[in-house]
C-alpha cells in the first residue's frame, strides 16, 4: 500500500495551511452616496426635582377652632393691630375657622368664608273664609301700651371702668422665682414662679381677657389679657381657668388656679409683651 504522504506536494500543503489560518469577518459594507442606518439613541430620564416650599406655607396661617386674633398674633410674635391691618380685619377682630391669614406685608389677604344662609321655608297661606250673609264686626284694636325705656346698667359700666388699665401692676401669684427673663433664648422669654397645685393666680393688671384655652403649644392652659393697644400679659400652665374671653378683670382679681399643664412641674409661667415682643416682667412688677 502506497503511503498518502508521498502524494502530497508542496504547493498543495501550502494551500491547506493558508486555508486553515484564514478567518472570515463580516465587516460593515458601505458605499459612497448611501445613507447609513441610524444608530440607537439612549434616552436618560430627567432627574427628579424636589418641589420648593411655597411662600404661602411660611407666610400664612389657617385659623383653627378656638383661635383668636390675639392668640395667632402671640404665636407668631406680632402685634394684633399689625396682623389685623395686613388682613383688613376691623374691630372686634372677628375671624372664622378655615380662614387663611397673611403674616407678612405685601400679600393679598384672603377673604373670610361667607356664612351659609339659613334655608327659607314657605309659609302656607291661611285658608279662605267662606262668605256669610251676616256682617261681621271687626274686633276692637287695643290701645298701644306705654313703652318704658330700659334702665341703664351702671354695674357693668362700673366694672369696665374698674378693669381699665391704669398703670398699676401686682404680682400674679406668690412664690419663688424659678427662672428669670431670658432675652437671648429661642424659646419662651417669660418668668416661672414656683407654687403649689391649685394656688391662686391673679390678673397682674386691669384689662380684658382676649384668649382662654390650650391651643398654643408649650403654654398649657393659658390666659391672655389685653391691657391697652400695645400691652398684653399671659398666664400659662394653669390647672383651672376661671374667666372667659371678653371678661373685664381688675388688677389682683382671681383668674385661674396654678397647675402643671403643658409642663412637668407645678409653676406659673408669666409673660408680658409690648408691641408684640416680650419684655422683662420684673420691670413692671413691684419690687418684692
Domains detected in the chain: 57-102 (3.10.350.10), 177-283 (2.70.70.10)
pLDDT at position 53: 39
Rounded to an integer, what is the distance from CA 269 to the centroid of its chain?
Answer: 22
Q: Are 195 and 268 in contact (CB under 8 A)?
A: yes
CB 239 within 8 A of CB 258: yes
Residues ≥6 apart with Cβ < 8 Å to 279: 181, 272, 273
CB 205 within 8 A of CB 227: yes
CA distance 132 to 23: 130
What's the full length of the chain, in residues?
A: 288
Per-residue pLDDT of the chain (288 residues; tens, 9 = 90+): 555 455 545 555 555 444 544 444 444 444 444 444 444 444 444 444 434 434 344 689 999 999 999 999 999 999 999 999 999 999 889 999 999 999 987 655 555 444 444 443 444 445 555 555 555 565 666 665 555 555 555 544 446 666 789 999 999 999 999 988 887 777 788 999 999 999 999 999 999 999 999 999 999 999 999 999 999 999 999 999 999 999 999 999 999 999 999 999 999 999 999 999 999 999 999 987
Q: Residue 4, CB half-sphere, CA atoms under 13 Å: how many?
A: 1
Q: How far apart (Å, rounded) are the C-alpha atoms in residues 265 and 258?
A: 11
pLDDT value at residue 146: 54
What's the DSSP call for residue 116?
Answer: P
Give the whole-angstrom CA distance, residue 104 versus residue 87.
9
The pLDDT value given to residue 50: 37
Give me the residue label for grid cell 383668674: 255
Model-level pTM greater than 0.85? no
Of 229, 261, 271, 224, residue with least CA distance to 244: 224
Q: Which residue has the cell 378655615?
A: 98
Distance from C-alpha of 158 to C-alpha of 171, rounded to nearest angstrom: 24
Torsion on CA atoms 77, 79, 84, 86, rounded to nearest 10: -70
What is the reported pLDDT for 288? 76
- Residue 32 has a pLDDT of 44
- C-beta neighbour count of 37 within 10 angstroms: 8
Cis before 110 (ω within 30): no
Amino acid at each position: 500500500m502506497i503511503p498518502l504522504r508521498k502524494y502530497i506536494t508542496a504547493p498543495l500543503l501550502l494551500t491547506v495551511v493558508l486555508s486553515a489560518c484564514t478567518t472570515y469577518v463580516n465587516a460593515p459594507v458601505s458605499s459612497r452616496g448611501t445613507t447609513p442606518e441610524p444608530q440607537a439613541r439612549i434616552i436618560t430620564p430627567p432627574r427628579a426635582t424636589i418641589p420648593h416650599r411655597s411662600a404661602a406655607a411660611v407666610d400664612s396661617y389657617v385659623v383653627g377652632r378656638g383661635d383668636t386674633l390675639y392668640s395667632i398674633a402671640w404665636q407668631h410674635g406680632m402685634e394684633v393691630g399689625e396682623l389685623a391691618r395686613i388682613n383688613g380685619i376691623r374691630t372686634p377682630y372677628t375671624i372664622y375657622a378655615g380662614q387663611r391669614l397673611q403674616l407678612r406685608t405685601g400679600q393679598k389677604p384672603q377673604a373670610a368664608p361667607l356664612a351659609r344662609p339659613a334655608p327659607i321655608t314657605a309659609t302656607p297661606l291661611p285658608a279662605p273664609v267662606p262668605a256669610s250673609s251676616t256682617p261681621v264686626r271687626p274686633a276692637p284694636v287695643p290701645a298701644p301700651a306705654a313703652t318704658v325705656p330700659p334702665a341703664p346698667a351702671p354695674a357693668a359700666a362700673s366694672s369696665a371702668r374698674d378693669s381699665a388699665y391704669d398703670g398699676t401692676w401686682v404680682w400674679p401669684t406668690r412664690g419663688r422665682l424659678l427662672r428669670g427673663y431670658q432675652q437671648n433664648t429661642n424659646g419662651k422669654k417669660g418668668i416661672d414662679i414656683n407654687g403649689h397645685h391649685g394656688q391662686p393666680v391673679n390678673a397682674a393688671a386691669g384689662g380684658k381677657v382676649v384668649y382662654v384655652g390650650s391651643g398654643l403649644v408649650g403654654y398649657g392652659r393659658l390666659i391672655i389679657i389685653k391691657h391697652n393697644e400695645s400691652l398684653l400679659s399671659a398666664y400659662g400652665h394653669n390647672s383651672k381657668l376661671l374667666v372667659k374671653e371678653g371678661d373685664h378683670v381688675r388688677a389682683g382679681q382671681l383668674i385661674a388656679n396654678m397647675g402643671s399643664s403643658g409642663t412637668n412641674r407645678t409653676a406659673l409661667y408669666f409673660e408680658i409683651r409690648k408691641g408684640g415682643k416680650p419684655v422683662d416682667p420684673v420691670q413692671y412688677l413691684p419690687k418684692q
